Amino acid sequence: MTRSPVGRRQEPLAVALAGAGMISAHHLAAWRSLGPRARVVAICDPDTARAARRAEEFGIPATYRDREAMLPTRSSRSGTRIG
């Protein structure tokens, strides 16, 4: 992560959301309202069709069936991007 001289993030925060149900639309709208400060890069849901619909609606590049598949393992987190 790169920080500006005043300590603010220059790269957007990468967000992965677990769950693509009704409430997810509210969460995703809130993340979208942050503009360039955050970017939702993945969403997962056991109902893959629901995840795909929500991803299409919000421009999310990656979908997964479960969070284990979506999130990198603890040992591989450094330098790993989701999606």
pLDDT 10s digits, 20-76? 999 999 999 999 999 999 999 999 999 999 999 999 999 999 999 999 999 875 544
Tokens of 17: 């959301």
Q: What's the pLDDT band for 10 if we cut at 50, 70, 90? A: confident
Per the model's pLDDT, the better-predicted residue between 54 and 79 turns out to be 54
pTM: predicted TM-score of the whole model, two decimal places: 0.77
Instruction: Give the right CATH number for 13-73 from 3.40.50.720, 3.40.50.300, 3.30.450.40, 3.40.50.1980.
Output: 3.40.50.720
Amino acid identity of 3? Answer: R
